[in-house]
Structure 1
């Protein structure tokens, strides 16, 4: 194969001839709506186009979160992740289209090759379009795609291409330079945190009254300009506090506060602890080499200096600590993840690396050239033993003992409340991946769900660990009282899960009819650390009690 015939991995739509060589194939179309609409982070194998007809909230593509706008288009490339979260109580409606993109390549014998990776158009928020153009096209694509008539389904394809044409027109217009915009004001705030800013000064940049500017900003970003500025300043301050030899006065000045005492009061109000306490915790430059290592450090009141973070692969820690952890290591599950993490650690030089003992010998040699490395076995030790070993190595044994006593009290209280609700009802956890269903129990489920919380298993599943494939018929015949469902967040599995919920065998199950089935997230249920176990206890109680997050 010649160079010109090789499969492309990236395309720039500004290249004039590029569009002529691209072909788009619609794979799926859906309209989602509701007052608390949520699409959990999921990996997509196809390109995804999301049109927000109405709503407020956030759309996250890869690691970038966009504030949701009505009549806006968002793109996610193939082999990347996306999620959607609408604001509570806000009616949201969106159209979601999945598509494959092909490019024509070659000389005399021209061929079509699947396009993978990032397409310039297909990344993030592309454009805000007029609804009178886009809504009828979206409705038509969905209508034709759902038709039972093959000819009408074929019609959905070229209607979808019309939709793409209008989107690309708006995308081209967006590339033209514009005047002072809301986004430019937001970027000004981020770049000049050390300067004094008032709402009057910011409003003048858009030639708006302060009140109208405040209303527009809040509608767009979900908070007032001054609250947004405070959040930016606190996040920047937390990053600065991880650096050695910086005085509190200097940090305050760098984030726009001339009075360090006022900054201290503001920081404690926003973050919950005084700056001096926070800085003491942060000055240990401990790197967590894996996700599980984060879950061993946090119970010891140690926030890692470096750790794997990603909106999907480490979603809980990314949401909670992305501004607290200065160095974000690669978390995406690809072959080059370890080399990328080592390069990051070489560049930032932590004092100490906490690492699973199961990593390769090559990785161990490279890590030990960077800093002192403490190895924690993932196998052979319980999560309690892992925590105590970590605490002993770090000189935090007393902190670990205090945390474990608190955990035991939480587990006892949760167990009493759960048993009052479920009585003697049986419980089962199932895992759905691709088109397969498994009765499932891992170490976390066995030791916490069935162990510490003493949830009652079905008698046929008395072993601690198992993964037994079930048919839907077999599952429906188990007559379980409370069903807990783990659904793998990838395209094929989610499509199978959606179809499965309309199956009469599923709908007639006792646990489904009584609304005693509960969706679980991989994090914490498939992780095995002290922090994850505590969250399993809390999440079980929230789900079963009806106080569902």
Structure 2
């Protein structure tokens, strides 16, 4: 049930929380991202299964109470036909920042509960209050939630400053950081600050495997990614990941995966089920004549995929990835970001390759080709592309010479942008050697501009295109609407008339031209030639 907090404004100086919603869920499998505005209190009563919050694993074997921080990724898997749980959404208020309770909300934690009968009454009473017809029920609900929830937090703080799970996760981080070294159980127990025997028991209870087994599986997971991505020898990889020799590594690998390392790599390259998390990756694969096993599929990237399973329309849905169980996942990171919690979750499904955003499209293309064993095909394709670009360059230059070409994009946010040396710009300015107006060389990707700034750009030709088109008809309409506003502006009319500027459009393929991959760039070469070989303007 949703809570309408706009119905009252009373708030005490010691109020720490405001209830947002309370729901009962009966889905056995669920993966979602927690709201950036609300925390969540997950209540499991006599449940069995598993919960993953970001990279923290929790095993459900009875009754559990978890706090989920804002923005966290959550995966819930329940066993049994009558499985259900409560999700209580709440907001933390300013007063909480000054209290001793604030620290417990910084990361996911399983609360230590002294009396589960109290928790059960708490949930049932909360549900009854929400279903009453009382104009003051929202304030009463907040007061009751705070009266019951704060003691639970205080008890947890008193029982332990940090949860056992946090201690265990610290040892997993240690494994990651020292993966090339010989790591003992006693060493890990010391990192956790626990007795070695107790550490082993509690680790196995939470992760369903011993610390040593977890470390071996972690090393195998790293080995799989290294073998797929590089040409390193098995011996080199084995030693760098803490195995005493390549033969011991091969035995362990075969025990875990079922086949020898070399067979595994060949299988991935020849027939592996590959999931693409971005149109960028899909375009590179299609240029190599390989259709992904699973991918994002939507109208923003209008290509025909006959045999590809759909992972989602806008973002890959983790539930589908879990169900599909690909052999390999390839995606591209975001600008200026390190690995995200979402990418960490993906990495637990299958070996995952996240391409560096800052690398150019040729590097991405060659890296993907190496991963799937198509280096020779990629080399041939690049030779073909460079030859084609050179031939088209001469034809286009023969028509426009050293005229300056500007790329202006419209987004659904009512803004205009200039493209620099990435996306469409990399084809026009780098591959076709067209002349960029002054200042474009300083734009790495794109730059938002105003009408006045556009009028100051010294260009002989302007190409209009889409900016981050999401594939919707609304985006089509919105972008066309912005273009019409520009075309009807008297300043613009006078500007292009006085400067004799020629204008063209590249709106026909939505996001295809701007998705920064080998296939898109080859298509774009032909489109640019078509645009400049027309004698008249080509505006919608």
Instruction: Normalising by structure 1, report the TM-score.
Output: 0.45
Instruction: Normalising by structure 2, report the TM-score.
Output: 0.45
Structure number with bigger Rg: 2
Higher strand share: 1
